Chains A and B, each alone.
Chain A
């Protein structure tokens, strides 16, 4: 009996590692591509495990010199993809929109969690419906609206729409964190004569710190990875990393190494962040509907 169950446990372990390896492989392949020379990338059959590592792709993408780049090497795309400013664009947009989203959402979430008002249920439905809108159906009219008011191709324009895109998530998630804090705390403070703002600022916010951090991390990630709005609402002024990646596809070929280098660099902050919020991840992914 015991022997059999160890046997089954081993198989289960093996199957679990096998399945996860299948999901990690594309990631491994992409990240190693960032460290490959063109010769190894275009090899056939594909060169998966053994290759001569190089930092050349990163040198080209970020305009730094580490001694791997030789002048005579000609890239499929013709070279010169200087992407450091695009990484900066991504950071500015993500931080700006996250700050805005979280500020607006904590206020609204407090009301949704603690204050009674007419049609509260409908209001939550409206917020949720915003999350359902296809980005294209917002991006098309917004392009013309932005053109009229001069927000096209500006940080402000992208930060605003990314903030709005993240609002349903932020509001519902913050509401679920506020709901976890017992209402008795508010009530006793009110009896002591505290105003709603004071309770919010001195009691609720400190107690929901972890929840606010998790919300901010998720907002950051969704802004960092967003594609449609940046694609539609910018031209030359700014471009975030996901959108600028497509510029590596040129008529003479695709600079896979450079693209992979930029992609890998863009993944690192997101990976770190997601590992920080493991505990709240499922709650975040389900907009606060499921608690772990």
Chain B
């Protein structure tokens, strides 16, 4: 600290030791102008998000013509196809089913586990640390883990479900239309419920003790305390967790790609996967771009609306 103060007190002595080119480079950073500081960020975002976005919109008005081997202008054809494509509407449905189910389970389970782990007793710190481990596993590898555990012949989850009579051994979880999406959700719920737990725990542990003490003196039941005190005090924390998790659940791609590739049939086709496959597997470059634009638009509108309504601030 004393060294920094000394350096701050004698700026000229310090600056003069720099070579000329560096001094020129740093000159824009001496005053109060914000632009030089932001310029690298702006350039990167323009090049890698805004330009691709414009390119994507341009692409949605074109389509690859396999016989002439080139992109051709097709006007609004891709958007018209989209409107009539039952597979697109189906994948939109799958995406929303996945979104609401996974987010709800993670929210409820996350809060329940957080309340359970909210304790100062020895050992609970270790439990919290163990829970963070799932967050850093590549989702693609999580997908593989659950692929192995849900294998119809030697999977451990299959085995447990069969021994308690929930499965009869004739319907593999991930290749049966009615259960495949649940199998994928299981991977997501396993990996990201701890995300909710950790955020809620941090929130719970920073709550002031006074309202709880007062409520206990008044003889409030644990449920009343949770409903009337904990939840309102935690509303900001919950909003942030739901926002960030919601964004990631909506754009989920990795699990379905490695676990089911959208199948069986179209039962696990989420929007991201459908867009990707149209472009790269079925060589419908423009159509894939169109679908990805829809998912982009939905997420930008919904998430920004949520930020406004829930008053989340950065």
Contacts and interface: CB of A to CB of B under 8 A. Distances in A.
Tell me if B's interface is mostly helix, strand, loop or mixed. helix
Contact of B144 (A43, A195, A259): A259
A7 interface: no
Interface stretch (A64-72, A78-86, A101-109): A101-109
A46 to B, nearest CB: 4
A91 interface: no
Interface string A1-17: 00000000100110111
A54 B148 CA distance: 19
A161 B47 CA distance: 10
A160 interface: yes
A19 B113 contact: yes
Query: Size range of the interface on A?
Result: 35 or more
A26 B145 contact: yes
Contacts of B280: 143, 232
B195 to A, nearest CB: 6
Contacts of B123: 13, 17
Interface in B300-314: 300, 303-304, 307, 312-314
B52 A225 contact: no
B127 A134 contact: no
B218 to A, nearest CB: 19
Contacts of B48: 138, 142, 160-161, 164
B156 A46 contact: yes
B175 interface: no
Contact of B121 (A13, A24, A132): A13
B129 A287 contact: no
Contact of B9 (A141, A144, A192, A288): A192
Contacts of A270: 136-137
Contacts of A133: 49, 53, 251, 296, 299-300
B8 A17 contact: no
20 contacts: A13-B121, A20-B131, A26-B190, A29-B149, A46-B154, A115-B37, A132-B299, A133-B53, A134-B271, A134-B272, A135-B251, A137-B295, A138-B49, A227-B139, A245-B140, A266-B138, A278-B132, A282-B199, A285-B135, A290-B202
